[in-house]
Structure 1
Amino acid sequence: MQSSKKLIIGYWDIRGLAQPIRYLLEYLKVDYEDKKYPLGEAPDFSKEAWFSVKQTLGFDLPNLPYLIDEETGVKITESHAIYRYICNKHNPDLLGKTLQEKANVDMFMSYVQDIRNATYVHSYETGDLAALSKIGFEKFEPIAKYLAKVDGKFLPGGDQVSIADFLLFEQIDMFDYFTSLEEKTSLTGLYPVLGQYYKKMANLEGLKEYLESDRCLKVLYNGKRAKLNKH
């Protein structure tokens, strides 16, 4: 009989920081509850749905996204801790096999997170699409060169996908969308190796089915108050 205990991922009802976590769980075919907290509408964009329960769930550092594993009793927040917990429990190879691969995974996770952080001011404050696109064209150049060097393999440098790949996959998706709005050249148009890599990721068993399903959010890369978003 299947256990009634489950894994719960909590986040806003957007893609944001939780989307790579969802990709990872879908790829691993882990049964989970995708608990989405609705953001209110303009002009207030109320966060009461989360704030009303934030201090009641037993987290040491209450935040979104969060993970609750009813099987083990683990309750954690912070994205990178969640990534590593899921991989350590279900497939440690996704964190890299050798010391070099593990270092590559950590390096690319940090680099891709830095790219996302760099988008904040333009996504939420300035709404400057050209400036956002410039960040993408510049920041993705070394990644494109690396993927060409490893002959289009995954970020650890071999045939084994990693958690860093799921983070990169979401960022390519986001930047390709925004850069294409400029009607000049998209991210994958400028760096075809990124387009080839994206298609390979999108066809991974488990992830492919999720992307084609109604469960996969197709909109809202960012919160509702963001000036740049996918609607």
Structure 2
Amino acid sequence: MPSRVIYADSADKIPSAPVDGLPTLVYWATCNLAQPIRYALECVGVDFVDVRVHWGPAEPTAAEGMHTPGYKGMWKERKVELAKTQLFPNVPYFMEQHPTLGDVHLVQSTAILRFIGRKKPSLMGGTLAHMCDMVLDQAIDLDWAMMDVQYDDWASATRWCTEKLPDMLARWDRLLGEKKLMVSDDLTIADLKAYECFRKIKLMEADPAVATSTFASFPRLCGFVERVESEEPIKRYMSSPQYIARPLNTAHAQWK
């Protein structure tokens, strides 16, 4: 459980080192790329600080989107300073004072997710690590396909859910089969990423502007979602005040 959630609404609240000596995750005040990382930290059972960065007072315009002057301005300001000590300043980033590795500073959401997963070997798939790797990458592809619609082409969401999504989900359904989870009966980081994708699909389809029920037509995938949510660390986190369910995306997305 995060021992502390920081809402960074000014540049000085965006840390350059672990906060209070604890593992520290820094990302926008959204779900998106950080949510599976948050789940993984819960599954590992470490105290951590979750820094949620606001994009600032300048809301993006329809014409300029993320290029609206001032939008994400405080992050851009802080990024200049972080670049003096960090090779690739970006969000999400993760910092930890590791007992054997020393100061760890990571960017790239998948690298962070894998680093945290290695703290609990079962999260990496054990003898089925090769399958965990593949399923994780496949879930990332699904996530990016969704984000293309959510950020840039929300008008096509209904068509995407009725024309493209059924084939995608049919493949996931075949992968799951009669297993408890996607790789095996043990929860992995690949399950966490796949779960978050499915959670977002369900939210998309529940939107009145979309109003489709493609996901509901795959009962085994519905069961997978329920089983992940019943895992004790996930259940505990989702019922806590630290849990963030929305927004999924930052302000310049057409759907959040």
TM-score calculated relative to the size of structure 1: 0.88
Deviations 1:185-214 (A, max 9, x none): 241x11111111101100111110111122
Counterpart of 1:132?
Answer: 160
2:82 pairs with 1:52 = no
**What is the CA–CA distance in structure 1 between the aligned matches of 2:94 and 2:146, rounded to whole Å?**
25
8 Å CA contact 1:66, 1:76 repeated in 2: yes
**What is the CA–CA distance in structure 2 between the aligned matches of 1:55 and 1:61, rounded to whole Å?**
11
Deviations 1:51-108 (A, max 9, x none): 12224333221111100003431001001110111122x212211211xx11111111
2:62 pairs with 1:35 = no
Counterpart of 1:147?
Answer: 176
8 Å CA contact 2:44, 2:116 repeated in 1: no
**What is the CA–CA distance in structure 2 between the aligned matches of 1:11 and 1:53, rounded to whole Å?**
13
**What is the CA–CA distance in structure 2 between the aligned matches of 1:186 and 1:180, rounded to whole Å?**
11
2:150 pairs with 1:123 = yes
Deviations 1:134-184 (A, max 9, x none): 433221211111212xx232222x221110000011000000111233334
Q: Which moved more, 1:48-57 or 1:60-69?
A: 48-57
What RMSD, in angstroms, separates the aligned Cα atoms of the two structures? 1.7
Counterpart of 1:209?
Answer: 236
Gaps of at least 5 residues in structure 1 are none
Gaps of at least 5 residues in structure 2 are 1-19, 62-67
In the TM superposition, 1:1-231 aligns within 5 A as 4-40=20-56, 41-43=59-61, 44=68, 46-57=71-82, 58-71=85-98, 72-88=102-118, 90-98=119-127, 101-127=128-154, 128-133=156-161, 134-148=163-177, 151-156=178-183, 158-181=184-207, 182-187=210-215, 189-229=216-256
Tell me the secondary structure at the aligned position of residue 54 of structure 1.
helix
8 Å CA contact 1:129, 1:228 repeated in 2: no
Query: Residue type matched to 2:211 in 1?
Result: E
Query: Residue type matched to 1:130 in 2?
Result: T
**What is the CA–CA distance in structure 2 between the aligned matches of 1:165 and 1:38, rounded to whole Å?**
28
Query: Residue type matched to 1:76 in 2?
Result: L
**What is the CA–CA distance in structure 1 between the aligned matches of 2:221 and 2:179, rounded to whole Å?**
9
Tell me the secondary structure at the aligned position of residue 73 of structure 1.
strand
When residues 135 and 63 of structure 1 are mapped into structure 2, their CA distance, relative to the original with a 3 A threshold, is farther
Query: Residue type matched to 1:141 in 2?
Result: A
Counterpart of 2:4?
Answer: none
8 Å CA contact 2:26, 2:94 repeated in 1: yes
> Percent identity over the alignment?
25
Tell me the secondary structure at the aligned position of residue 21 of structure 2.
coil
8 Å CA contact 2:29, 2:53 repeated in 1: yes
**What is the CA–CA distance in structure 2 between the aligned matches of 1:178 and 1:206, rounded to whole Å?**
25
**What is the CA–CA distance in structure 1 between the aligned matches of 2:138 and 2:239, rounded to whole Å?**
28
8 Å CA contact 2:158, 2:212 repeated in 1: no
Aligned residues: 219
Query: Residue type matched to 2:33 in 1?
Result: L
**What is the CA–CA distance in structure 1 between the aligned matches of 2:53 and 2:188, rounded to whole Å?**
28
Tell me the secondary structure at the aligned position of residue 53 of structure 1.
helix
